[in-house]
Chain A
């Protein structure tokens, strides 16, 4: 049963058709042949016995009067029965009295020159290709000798050959019929199934759910194809709905981004305009206060902008739409630029930054996104660094670029280290502020680049974040 699982429907149908056609025909023919051959055999035995009886009757007087010529004449009468090959009359001593033989000139005699008494006692028997009849020759109660008749079974054998030939022809016919039947069944069953499988395979390859199984018949396979097509219609519909939902969500993200950033734009420009070109009427003290106030407003705008950016990024990541726009990027100069932007903040919190940055570490990355990662790690190091020195390094191997940011601040417990890269997760207490999105977004950006981000940390000792980015795409682009 298990072995038959690997056999195709086509082969199974052919085998079944051959068996179904051949078996009844073979059995019927065998039955008829057996009956017929048994009848012929019994008929031959009867007729041979009868011939023996008649010839023995006719030969009795010739033997009684020792008239060999008359006995020979009687035996020669057997010429008319072509089945009789030979016949011999033997006297009571077993010596041949007269003989008749139908044979070609050089063919050896089938008739024994003498017979034993035992042989003469046997009835008609079939021996090899002959029926041998032994009949006592008796007249008025006196036995004068024995008649031996040899009858050919050629007739029976040719009938058997005929049957065998018929059976072979029938077998061939049955095979041809079975082949045709299998082909028909295959057209009916196997081909529509293969066509259905072909449609499924094409859909798997092209993801085009508008394809349908064609030529749906009204039989069971047609029902299957119909159900298959209905399922495709359903999937197609859902696929379109899903695509529509993605379009709606993308539009929403785009509009949300625009709507949230538009008020910030004029606010920021106005504030920066005032900072750059303050009213000339202000006294020196008022001008200083004016600048201080607007600096705070400007920082808060930047903060609000980053929060909006983070929320939109989280929506994009959740929707699987974090799209990278990679280009040849120098990580070293990018990190220099970020640290330069952090200078005022570092001064405010009075913490020093030690940088060890390789001259140039290029790769094929999305620069604004990598900027986001570096900014996030550095901002965290300042935020949780407790004013202690921060170390930052950039180095590389031919395959990878590595960024390490180390602080000596509050640290992260082993348990918290496992979850800080998750969405809305944060290890520090709520008093530190923030949405808990920075590391999540950073890790997603790094992962989207095919890189890794990891943390080593001890509570109250500090944390080290290591980002590794593959440079492969850059090498690929260079060749």
Chain B
């Protein structure tokens, strides 16, 4: 990694403040750079103002712009389309998220699975 290369970061988009803060603090404890957004619209803004994140952890059911709408808007933006997204779902939501064809994690999330998943997409910010 060269010094000029921007540091990879993780974006968490979830309307539940506790989940946002819990995941953020746990990932930060593991040494990741993390930012959060309370809904899809703010999430897209965060992605555009900074350099694109290495991974987005996205809640499916959110007021305003839900996970599906976020994904559509993200794919429509060529700058952001390549950013990988992992969807948080209430396990076995009745078909609602079935057609969003991306990796998903069922709630309640196993911490080890969260760490493993993030590690696959993102190298740690600090050395």
Which residues on A are within 8 Å of B, measured CB to CB? 250, 253-255, 257-258, 260-270, 272-273, 276-277, 301, 305, 309, 312-313, 316, 321, 323, 325, 368
Q: Give A316's nearest chain B residue, CB to CB.
A: B94
* A266 and B92 form a contact (CB under 8 A): no
Q: Out of B60, B61, B98, B109, name the residue touching A268 (CB < 8 Å).
A: B109
Complex contacts, B95 vs chain A, CB 8 Å: 250, 321, 323
A173 and B18 CA atoms in complex are apart in Å by: 95
> What are 27 residue pairs bridging A and B, where the CB atoms are less than 8 Å apart in the complex?
A254-B94, A254-B96, A255-B61, A257-B91, A257-B93, A258-B60, A261-B108, A262-B16, A262-B90, A263-B18, A265-B22, A265-B107, A265-B108, A266-B21, A268-B110, A269-B19, A272-B110, A273-B26, A276-B111, A276-B112, A277-B29, A301-B108, A309-B92, A313-B92, A316-B92, A323-B94, A368-B91
Query: Which A-B residue pairs are the 8 nearest by beta carbons?
Result: A272-B111, A257-B90, A261-B107, A266-B18, A268-B108, A264-B108, A258-B90, A265-B108
Q: Give A313's nearest chain B residue, CB to CB.
A: B92
The smallest C-beta distance from A448 to any residue of chain B, in angstroms, reads 13
Most-contacted residue by chain A among B22, B61, B109, B111 (CB, 10 A): B111
A323 and B18 CA atoms in complex are apart in Å by: 31
Q: Is B54's CB within 8 Å of the partner chain A?
A: no
A-B contact count (CB 8 A): 85
Query: Other than the known A273-B25, A323-B94, what 15 A-B pairs have Cβ atoms closer than 8 Å?
Result: A250-B96, A254-B61, A254-B96, A255-B61, A257-B92, A261-B90, A265-B88, A265-B108, A266-B19, A269-B19, A269-B26, A273-B29, A309-B92, A312-B92, A325-B98
A308 and B96 CA atoms in complex are apart in Å by: 18
Complex contacts, B65 vs chain A, CB 8 Å: none
Contact (A305, B108) CB under 8 Å given A254-B93, A266-B16? yes
* B111 and A269 form a contact (CB under 8 A): yes
Q: Is B75's CB within 8 Å of the partner chain A?
A: no
A323 and B99 CA atoms in complex are apart in Å by: 14
Q: Is B119's CB within 8 Å of the partner chain A?
A: no
Contact (A253, B94) CB under 8 Å given A258-B61, A272-B110? yes
Complex contacts, A260 vs chain B, CB 8 Å: 90
Complex contacts, A323 vs chain B, CB 8 Å: 94-95
A426 and B17 CA atoms in complex are apart in Å by: 40
Complex contacts, B88 vs chain A, CB 8 Å: 265
Binary CB contact string for chain B from 17 to 47 against chain A (1 if under 8 A, 0 otherwise) = 0110111011001000000000000000000
A365 and B19 CA atoms in complex are apart in Å by: 33
* B109 and A269 form a contact (CB under 8 A): yes
Q: Is B100's CB within 8 Å of the partner chain A?
A: no
The smallest C-beta distance from A306 to any residue of chain B, in angstroms, reads 10
Contact (A254, B90) CB under 8 Å given A267-B108, A301-B108? yes
Q: Is B81's CB within 8 Å of the partner chain A?
A: no
Complex contacts, A254 vs chain B, CB 8 Å: 61, 90, 93-94, 96
A269 and B19 CA atoms in complex are apart in Å by: 8
* B23 and A269 form a contact (CB under 8 A): yes
Complex contacts, A309 vs chain B, CB 8 Å: 91-92
Q: Is B102's CB within 8 Å of the partner chain A?
A: no
Q: Give B96's nearest chain A residue, CB to CB.
A: A254
Binary CB contact string for chain B from 72 to 104 against chain A (1 if under 8 A, 0 otherwise) = 000000000000000010111111101000000
The smallest C-beta distance from A66 to any residue of chain B, in angstroms, reads 131
The smallest C-beta distance from A408 to any residue of chain B, in angstroms, reads 33
A250 and B94 CA atoms in complex are apart in Å by: 6
* B92 and A262 form a contact (CB under 8 A): no
A262 and B109 CA atoms in complex are apart in Å by: 10
Complex contacts, A325 vs chain B, CB 8 Å: 98
The smallest C-beta distance from B29 to any residue of chain A, in angstroms, reads 6
A291 and B115 CA atoms in complex are apart in Å by: 20
* A269 and B90 form a contact (CB under 8 A): no
* B93 and A258 form a contact (CB under 8 A): yes
A301 and B110 CA atoms in complex are apart in Å by: 11
Complex contacts, B16 vs chain A, CB 8 Å: 262, 265-266
* B92 and A269 form a contact (CB under 8 A): no
Complex contacts, A316 vs chain B, CB 8 Å: 92, 94
Complex contacts, B18 vs chain A, CB 8 Å: 263, 266
Complex contacts, A265 vs chain B, CB 8 Å: 16, 19, 22, 88, 107-109
A255 and B61 CA atoms in complex are apart in Å by: 8
Complex contacts, A264 vs chain B, CB 8 Å: 107-108
A253 and B93 CA atoms in complex are apart in Å by: 7
Contact (A269, B94) CB under 8 Å given A255-B61, A262-B19, A262-B107? no
Complex contacts, B111 vs chain A, CB 8 Å: 268-269, 272-273, 276
Q: Give B19's nearest chain A residue, CB to CB.
A: A266
A272 and B112 CA atoms in complex are apart in Å by: 8
